[in-house]
Structures are given as C-alpha cells and as structure tokens.
Chain A
Amino acid sequence: MPKISIQQVGKVFGEGSHRVEALKDISLDIADNEFVTFVGASGCGKSTLLRIIGGLEYHTSGEVLANGQPVAGPGADRAMVFQHYSLYPWLRVMENIKFSRRLKHGREDLTSAEVEAASGRADALLSLMGLNAAVDAYPNQLSGGMQQRVAIARALMGRPEILLMDEPFGALDAQTREVMHDLILHVHRLEKPTLAFVTHDVEEAIYLADRVVLMAPRPGRIDTIYQVPLPAEREQDMKHTPEFLRLKKEILARIRETSGMKTDQGMLDQLNMQETV
C-alpha cells in the first residue's frame, strides 16, 4: 500500500471569471520511506499540492489518502516544515522541540515510562540536529540554518510517518544548504519517514530524492517523473557525475519549456546578440 496516494486531485480557486485551476488531475503514489521532491516553474502548484497532503489546503476534486486514510485536515501523522516564521519566538529551543508535548494529542493516556521516553527523544533529536549548544537559546538568537534544524527536530518529535517540507532551505545560503542536505538524508535513513519535499532548486531536488516530480503550470499538473539514477547513499561528489549533470540539465530545460516564459528568453537572447555585435 502506498504511504501517500493522490488520485485525480484537482484544486480550483475562486468562481466565475475569477476561477483559476491551480491543480488538474494529479495522480501520484508515494511509497513508504520514499523521498520524493517536487520542482517546477512558479505557479505550477507544487506548494499547494504539498499543503493539500498536509491538510492545510483542501482539494476540490479527487482524493488524497495518507496511511490509507482520506485526508480531511491537518494531523500529527503528517508533520510539516515551513520555509520560515514557523518557530515560536517566545519559547527556547528545547521548548520549541517539545511543543507537541503541550498538546492534548501528545499527552493522551501516557504512562510515566512513555513520558520519560519522550524526554529522551527530545534529547536525542537535539543531538541528531547538532543543537546541543543552543538548547537554551531563543530562536531569534540563532542563524537561519540553526532555526531550520529546530523546526525539523520539532516536526520529528511526534514520530510522524510522513514529513512534508515546503522549501525548507529556500532562505539559506548555499554552504548551509549543503550541510542541511546531508543532515536531512541522515534523518531520512535513521527515522525512516516518507518524505515529500518542495523546492525550486533542481540540484537539491535531485541530490535528495529517489524520484523527482516535475510539475507544469496553468493548470498545475504533473509533467514528468524522473527516477534519480544515483546510489541510495548520497555524497556531495555525486553532484559532479555525468548522470547527475545530465539529469539536472534535462530537468532545467523541461522547466523552461513548461514555464511559458519563452518570449522573455527570446528578448534576453536578442539583448545578448546586440551586445556581442
């Protein structure tokens, strides 16, 4: 049984003349423990699709199943990591990570052994994310990369079987992003969540994923699904292999083709011509 099953999902915003078809006839199965990344030109609906899986947005047709259950709203089985502004600035790092423990959902019918285990888990996640030195800091004392580590640890705290990430490293600099890539791969191996990850960075999409889903805009739809031809254990050096570069080139070209921005490209070429003359 697929962990996430998206069946003929459509999403329409607005009515009448304001009607916009954000997603059209999306079908995709994501297997247990699979790592799938979504890329595509802006407006292709990749974030909307992720938010529909998370239950933060509703679809207007079709069905989404998570763990075999229809998605009817957000739930702790599908944790989400956002690009930014999701940490609680009034809580210290450890309190942020343990936030779900304050919720009824996280407290229900727990034995004292389980409570202790949860405390141990928070410590383990702190170490896993390399946050030991920052345990008592407030989020606004941390760099962007450290803040995202906290957000990931917090999302993992409730042992979600599905982890949804919406451009989580989009605001980080290139060096920090590389570190985060290896960290999230490590998390994926260790915790074995099923991972759906939206990004605009094609290199990131290939390096992390088992499969890259390329979406196209107007209306938002799945264009191509690429199987990543790299070994399961990823290393930074693989980014320079011919297979990697070929796939990156192919995906980038396809995004350009589907973006509907050909006229702009034409104008740019024209400008370049004039300059060289």
Chain B
Amino acid sequence: MQSIPATRPRKPGMWAIRGPLSRRQYWVFAALGLLAPLALWWLVSSSASVDKVFMPGPLDVYHRLITWYVDDDLMSNIWISVYRVTAGFALSAIIALPLGLMIGTFRPVQAVLEPLTDFIRYMPAVAFIPLVMLWVGIEESSKIAIIFIGTFFQMVLMMAEDVRRVPLAQIEAAQTMGATRGESVRLVIFQSAKPALLDTLRVTMGWAWTYLVVAELVAANSGIGYSILKAQRFLQTDKIFVGILLIGLIGLVMDQLFRLAHRKAFPWLHLRS
C-alpha cells in the first residue's frame, strides 16, 4: 500500500479568487498603484527625447505649483472653483431630492417626469452654453447654471431609483401599523433611502467637478478650469498639469468627506460583525 501524504487545507492566498488581503498588504498595493504612475511619469519626462513643453516632469510641476501659490494667487482660484462647483451641486441636490422622492414614490409623477428627464439628460450640457449666456448672462450664475445642467438630470433619475429600491415590506409594515401616506414617505421611504441618496450625492459630486472646466469656458477670468484654459494659450504645460492634479486632489478629498459622513450618519451600515 502506498501511503498518502497528509494534506491540510491551507489558508487561501491573496491571489485566490476573492482571496483575503490584510490591511498592511492593502496599503502596500495602494502605494504601489499610486507611485508606479508617478515613477513612470518621471522616467518618461526625464528622457532626453521628450520636450518639456509636451511633458513636464514632476519637479517642474511642483515648482509651478509653488510659483502659482506665491505669485499668482492660487488659493483664490481654488476657492472660486470650489464655490462654483459646490453652489451648482447644492442647487441640483436641493431640487433633485424632493423630485426624486416623488418620482420614486408616486407613479403619475414618474410618468410625467421620468421620460422627460431621460430625454434632457442625453442633451449635451456643453451645448447649452450659448443659451445659458443668453438667458443667465455671463455672471457667476451662468457658471453655476452649467454645473447644474450637467448634474441635475442624472441626479434626479439616480435618486428616484434609490427611492424605488426601498423594500416594499418596510412600507407595508408601516401601513399595517396605521401610518398615513405622509408618514410612510417621511418616516420610512426617506429614512430607508437616505444612505443610497448620500452615495448618489457622492457620485454626482464627481460629475460636478468634470463640468467645472466647461463652466469656466463661459467668460470666466478666475478659477482652476479657467487657469488651465489660459495656460493652454501660453503653452504652459506644467500649469495645466498642476490644474488637473489639483482638481483630482480636491475631488478625492470631497469623496473621502462624503464617505466619512456616510460612516457617521449611518452607523448601522458600518458595523463590524
């Protein structure tokens, strides 16, 4: 008889399908994911065959960031852009929230508004610029209007979907406890959809930032998006890099703030079992 070697089930490695990854391993990989492109960028930009005008190196970009900050009033550019994005986004959210709640709750409202919203959402926000300038003017409000147009219609539809996903049993349970229609909407549907709604806000916030540059095409003379466009005219590639990276960074910070708010506001979704 041949003896069979004793085998013990082994702990699955990190490359097993949906395998485990420790916290330390996670950060090692995350750092790799962030540093590798940086290294590649540095390598490409420092090779002799690439002109600095086309590809400034990380150091050039860093120096530009400093001079922009010191000589060129970077902070006020950042603030005006943050203001525009936040204002356009907040306006969207304030109108989209009650509408989404109504569309997701009452079928007639859905029938009236959803096909219309679906239609408008496919219209390119950029193409509205001439109309916005005509109707709203070239003041601050026109930039806010562009960001609003870019985010609002998507936001309404996503929020309506969040509301529709509230389990029917939660609503019916309230009804069999004597809840009125208003109480069902206020105390069950809205409460139940809140976490999903906050996630929708987080996602659409990212889209608001992508419309910033478009919005600052409209007769702006300040803001990060405007600075990027101006830098293009003067072939200041390093400044374009700074602008793009800054927008990415601010977006990342806002995203993390939304995630933090989610953890704080909805503790039951973030319990360690």
Q: List chain A positions with a Cβ less than 8 A from chain B.
A: 54-56, 73-76, 78-80, 82-90, 99-100, 102-106, 138-141, 151, 154-155, 157-158, 164
B173 lies within 8 A of chain A by Cβ: yes
A86 to B183, CA, bound (A): 16
CB-CB < 8 A to A102: which residues of B?
A: 183, 187
Instruction: Please name the 9 residue pairs, one residue from A and one from B, whose CB atoms are nearest each other, closest first.
Output: A76-B178, A105-B178, A74-B175, A86-B169, A138-B268, A85-B167, A80-B176, A100-B177, A86-B173
- B176:A106 contact, CB within 8 angstroms: no
CB-CB < 8 A to B269: which residues of A?
A: 89, 140
- A90:B266 contact, CB within 8 angstroms: yes
CB-CB < 8 A to A73: which residues of B?
A: 175
B231 lies within 8 A of chain A by Cβ: no
Given the known inter-chain contacts A86-B172, A140-B271, please indicate yes or no for A105 contacting B191, CB distance below 8 A: no
For the A-B complex, the count of residue pairs with Cβ-Cβ distances under 8 Å equals: 90
B interface bracket (residues with beta carbon within 8 Å of A): 20 to 34
CB-CB < 8 A to B191: which residues of A?
A: 88, 90
CB-CB < 8 A to B22: which residues of A?
A: none
- B187:A103 contact, CB within 8 angstroms: yes
- A79:B177 contact, CB within 8 angstroms: yes
In-complex Cβ contact of B177 among A87, A105, A141 (8 A): A105
Q: Fill in one digit per residue for B90-129: 1 if any A CB lies within 8 Å of its CB, else 0.
A: 0000000000000000000000000000000000000000
- A138:B183 contact, CB within 8 angstroms: no
B174 lies within 8 A of chain A by Cβ: yes
B236 lies within 8 A of chain A by Cβ: no
CB-CB < 8 A to A76: which residues of B?
A: 176-178
A74 to B176, CA, bound (A): 5
A100 to B176, CA, bound (A): 10
B179 lies within 8 A of chain A by Cβ: yes
Given the known inter-chain contacts A82-B169, A103-B183, A138-B268, please indicate yes or no for A88 contacting B175, CB distance below 8 A: no
- B268:A90 contact, CB within 8 angstroms: yes
Residue of B with least CB distance to A164? B176
B141 lies within 8 A of chain A by Cβ: no
- B273:A141 contact, CB within 8 angstroms: yes
Residue of B with least CB distance to A141? B271
- B170:A140 contact, CB within 8 angstroms: no
A82 to B187, CA, bound (A): 19
A132 to B268, CA, bound (A): 19
B180 to chain A, nearest CB (A): 7
A35 to B47, CA, bound (A): 84
- A158:B178 contact, CB within 8 angstroms: yes
- A56:B175 contact, CB within 8 angstroms: yes
A182 to B173, CA, bound (A): 24
Given the known inter-chain contacts A88-B192, A105-B179, please indicate yes or no for A74 contacting B172, CB distance below 8 A: yes
- B268:A140 contact, CB within 8 angstroms: yes
B45 to chain A, nearest CB (A): 50
B181 to chain A, nearest CB (A): 10
Task: List 9 A–B pairs whose Cβ atoms lie within 8 Å, in order of A's numbering.
Answer: A82-B172, A86-B172, A87-B173, A88-B188, A89-B269, A90-B192, A100-B178, A140-B269, A140-B271
- B174:A104 contact, CB within 8 angstroms: no
Q: Given contact pairs A56-B176, A75-B176, A79-B177, enumerate 8 new A-B contacts (beta carbons under 8 Å).
A: A88-B188, A88-B191, A89-B192, A90-B194, A103-B177, A105-B179, A140-B269, A154-B177
A103 to B182, CA, bound (A): 10
CB-CB < 8 A to A158: which residues of B?
A: 177-178
CB-CB < 8 A to A139: which residues of B?
A: 268
Given the known inter-chain contacts A88-B191, A104-B183, A138-B268, please indicate yes or no for A78 contacting B167, CB distance below 8 A: no
CB-CB < 8 A to B173: which residues of A?
A: 80, 82, 86-87, 151, 154-155
A90 to B175, CA, bound (A): 18
A188 to B38, CA, bound (A): 69
Most chain B CB within a 10 A radius of its CB, from A56, A83, A89, A138: A89
A88 to chain B, nearest CB (A): 6
CB-CB < 8 A to A74: which residues of B?
A: 172, 175-176
A105 to B182, CA, bound (A): 12
CB-CB < 8 A to B183: which residues of A?
A: 102-104
- B179:A103 contact, CB within 8 angstroms: yes
A198 to chain B, nearest CB (A): 14
A84 to B194, CA, bound (A): 20
CB-CB < 8 A to B170: which residues of A?
A: 85-88
CB-CB < 8 A to A104: which residues of B?
A: 180, 183
CB-CB < 8 A to A89: which residues of B?
A: 192, 268-269
Given the known inter-chain contacts A56-B172, A82-B172, A86-B172, please indicate yes or no for A75 contacting B194, CB distance below 8 A: no
B19 to chain A, nearest CB (A): 25
- A80:B178 contact, CB within 8 angstroms: no
Residue of A with least CB distance to B268? A138
- A54:B271 contact, CB within 8 angstroms: no
A87 to B167, CA, bound (A): 10
CB-CB < 8 A to B172: which residues of A?
A: 54, 56, 74, 80, 82, 86
